[in-house]
Amino acid sequence: MVTYGGIADDFTGATDLAAAWRSRGLRTAVVLGLPENATDLDGLADHDAVVIALKIRTAPVAEAVDVTRRAATILRGLGAAQLYSKYCSTFDSTPTGNIGPVLDALGEGDSTGQARGAVVVVPAFPAAGRTVYQGHLFVGEQLLEHSPMRHHPLTPMTRSHLPTLLEPQTARPVGLVPWATVQAGAGAVRSELDRLGADDVRYAVVDALTEEDLTTIAAATEEDSLVSGGSGLAAGLARRAEQPTAIPAVPGRRAVLAGSASAATRGQVAEARAHLPHQRLNLDALRADLTGEVEWLRAWARECWQSEPDRPVLVYAVGDLTDVEDDPGAAALVEEALARCAVAFTADGARQLVLAGGETSGAVATALGVPALTLGAPLGPGLAWAHGVDRDGTDLNLVLKSGNFGTPTLFVDAWEAL
């Protein structure tokens, strides 16, 4: 029976949360997009946790709120006792949303009520270098406002104090549970959340510097009907002794499709180019003849696989930031091209795909018509192989990777985990 229901604001964030729950021994599935009917999820009733992946991080607020409410209704219908609002560990948002409006909607639509005090806000993910101290979010040793996220084209993060970031997004008061309270244990955190709630403080940013801090916060909130954060809070749950069944490894050709321009993905591309056959998307050629250029890439991949059937091919968008500089239409073109490549490659026998970037992952999963994924063992913080079936009934193994996650050698060695 489903105990935990996640609502993620993008596709890679959904697999990030699901991977964390899977690492704790929970049978976990990801539903890619809002299902048309609740009956479409009947086969997931035997899972412990289900995440619905939405594309609402930068959607209009009204749209984000509407689909969030619908997703919550579906998850409650599956039996989820706790809803988890999953957003990026770098709190990607703007002064008008969407984290605050989504949280407000989930609270309003919660028939059980949040009877146990303030709702926690926990983006901390120490395993990925995200920590929170005195309400300030750090990325590695840098404050968020000094990190590369300051220059994000859609959600530039120019401040680091989380209460200050959240307050413009909601009419409800925002408080703080400081690190000293977290160090005092789960009971102290619970008492402070209850005190804040009694003072009509709706949301509480909670400091966390270590994975042990997340374990403390998870214990303090285990009976809450609504929590929020990155995936770190989910990883703080106690590990179950019995582990879920391994996902099937689907034999076939291998490919990496990387649309992200993040520093981590650019490093992974640089490492992979020394080991894998590779092509960078030619934006001019794609604009001139999208279909023809994708067919050229398809023929190139076939030739690579003919000579080395088990060797992955790499198609990427960005080797250097200048590849997309001053090109506002590049992102949509890259998504479309990589989605078409995925369809063509799977038609030619590719069955194991690593997808880099939230928009890329969403575009590819949609193009392939994969409705849901069952998570396998983690590849690393926020990453796991998954198993799904496309609209043609073809079994696939997929990794949906946030642009910022993964080791430098991920594109080369991810296949070993299968």
Identify the CATH number of the domain in which residue 345 sits: 3.40.980.20
Are residues 168 and 261 both part of a single domain? no
Do residues 266 and 177 share a domain?
A: no
**pLDDT at residue 326, as a whole number:** 64
Q: Please check whether residue 264 is in contact with residue 404, taking contact to mean a CB–CB distance below 8 angstroms.
A: yes
Query: Residue 245: which pLDDT band, with cuts at 50, 70 and 90?
Result: confident
Give residue 174's domain range.
4-235
Burial, 309: exposed, middle or buried (Cβ in 10 Å; 0-12, 13-18, 19+)?
Answer: exposed
The string of pLDDT tens digits covering residues 325-363 is 667 788 899 999 999 999 999 999 999 999 999 889 999
What is the per-residue pLDDT for 378?
A: 83
183 & 261 share domain: no
Confidence class for position 39, pLDDT limits 50, 70, 90: low
pLDDT digits (tens, 9 = 90+) for 405-414: 899 999 999 9
In the listed set 182, 204, 235, which residue is the last one of a domain according to the structure?
Answer: 235
Cα–Cα dist 80/85, whole Å:
13
Are 44 and 104 in a shared domain? yes
- Give just the sign of the alpha carbon dihedral 413, 335, 401, 366: negative
Is the pLDDT at 371 greater than 70, yes or no? yes
Residues 106, 110, 235, 381, Cα dihedral to 10°: -30
Question: What's the CA gap between 87 and 219, in Å, rounded?
Answer: 20
Q: Is residue 244 part of a domain?
A: no
Beta bridge partners of 34: none
Confidence of residue 262 (pLDDT cuts 50, 70, 90): confident
Q: How many whole angstroms separate alpha carbon 57 and alpha carbon 52?
A: 14
CA distances from 25 to 19, 22, 216, 258, 353 (A): 10, 5, 18, 30, 24
Residues 322 and 181 placed together within one structural domain of the fold: no
**325 lies in a domain?**
yes
Residue 12: how many other CB atoms lie within 10 Å = 28
Q: How far apart are CA 29 and CA 317, in angstroms?
A: 29
For 8-18, what is the mean pLDDT? 93
pLDDT (tens digit per residue) in 57-87: 999 999 999 999 999 999 999 999 999 999 9
Asked if pLDDT for residue 3 goes beyond 80, the answer is yes
Shared domain for 218 and 306, answered yes or no, is no
* Shared domain check, 43 and 176: yes
Q: Are 156 and 183 in contact (CB under 8 A)?
A: no
Q: How far apart are CA 50 and CA 388, in angstroms?
A: 14
Q: Which of 168, 202, 235 is the C-terminal boundary of a domain?
A: 235
Lowest mean pLDDT among 110-124, 163-177, 204-218, 356-370: 110-124
- Residues 117 and 198: beta-carbon distance below 8 Å: yes
Mean pLDDT of the chain: 93
Residue 108 has pLDDT above 50, yes or no: yes
- 112 pLDDT band, cuts 50/70/90, is very low
The structural domain count of the chain equals: 2
Q: Return the percentage of the chain with pLDDT > 70, whole number.
A: 95
Q: Give 207's Cβ-side CA count (13 Å radius).
A: 16
At 324, is the pLDDT very low, low, confident or very high (cuts 50, 70, 90)? low
Same domain, 89 and 221: yes
Q: Would residue 245 count as lying in a domain?
A: no
The answer on 294 and 220 residing in a single domain is: no
Mean pLDDT of 363-372: 94
What pLDDT is stored for residue 111 in this prediction?
Answer: 47
User: Does the residue 240 lie in any domain?
Assistant: no
- Answer with the one of 174, 203, 235 that is the final residue of a domain: 235
104 and 56 housed in the same domain: yes
3-state secondary structure of 389: strand
The answer to whether residue 247 sits within a structural domain is no
Reply yes or no on whether the pLDDT at 54 is more than 50: yes
DSSP-derived 3-state class of residue 109: coil
